[in-house]
Amino acid sequence: MSLLIKNKPTAAKFQKLSRRHIQYLYNVALRYTANRYDAEEIVQETLLVAFKNFGQLKDEAKIKGWLFTILRNIYLKSVKNSKKFSSSEYDDGRDYLDVLETVVEQIDLQAAYEKKVESEQVQTILSKLSEKYKSPLILYYMEDMSYQQIGDTLGLPIGTVMSRLSRGKQLLKKEILRQYLKESSQTNIVSLQDKRKER
């Protein structure tokens, strides 16, 4: 009984500090998984692990980064154990046609990301990216973190952060372009039966 009373202030303090970051955690988890159920599951597990280890948090001002790290570790563990959220499609290093390379440079990723018009498409593509590209992109665009802040959060040197952001943006642009070209070519296809009817 004394243990429950002893932990009650800790539980209240944890709830007070973590509550304001739950939406942020959910948004990050949703970007990782592209699935509401899985995102909710990861957030719940994150909060459980964070509560159990609340005593390890040294600086309350850094709780957001601490929660993100826990969430990211849980996501990586789930990917490793189940391959549930695997995204090897973008990890094979394949190169696209040279035409795509030149057109990709013309796409303004910032505009595409900021516009809600393509947000579902960007979300789907982002969810398929490898975590090493996904995390920096999420932190850069969702949280407006600087390279240094991203490096501190992920435990990476600033050069690695810059490299992964650049490569992640490039992969995102290529896939947006590929889907755009696919959609536009499908709208221009006329069936032979339709051609015959026109005659």
pLDDT digits (tens, 9 = 90+) for 154-172: 889 999 999 999 998 888 8
Q: How many domains does the chain contain in total?
A: 2
Structural domain includes residue 30: yes
Same domain assignment for residues 182 and 138: yes
Between 108 and 130, the higher pLDDT residue: 130
Query: What confidence score (pLDDT) does residue 91 get?
Result: 38
Same domain assignment for residues 96 and 159: yes
Q: Model pTM?
A: 0.56
**Nearest-angstrom CA–CA distance, 14 and 56:** 12
Structural domain includes residue 51: yes
Structural domain includes residue 142: yes
Same domain assignment for residues 34 and 117: no
Query: What confidence score (pLDDT) does residue 83 get?
Result: 55
| Ranges of H-type helices in the chain | 2-19, 22-33, 36-52, 63-82, 98-104, 109-114, 119-128, 131-142, 147-154, 158-187, 192-198
**Nearest-angstrom CA–CA distance, 163 and 57:** 30
Which CATH number covers residue 105? Answer: 1.10.10.10
Domain span at residue 57 reads 2-82
Of 82, 99, 118, the position where a domain reaches its end is 82
Same domain assignment for residues 122 and 170: yes
Same domain assignment for residues 164 and 131: yes
| Count of alpha carbons within 13 angstroms of residue 142, beta-carbon side | 22
Same domain assignment for residues 77 and 100: no
Of 37, 65, 82, the position where a domain reaches its end is 82
Region of poorest pLDDT, from 15-19, 71-75, 114-118: 114-118
Same domain assignment for residues 183 and 93: yes
Of 52, 82, 112, the position where a domain reaches its end is 82
Structural domain includes residue 67: yes
Q: What is the largest CA-CA distance in the chain?
A: 88
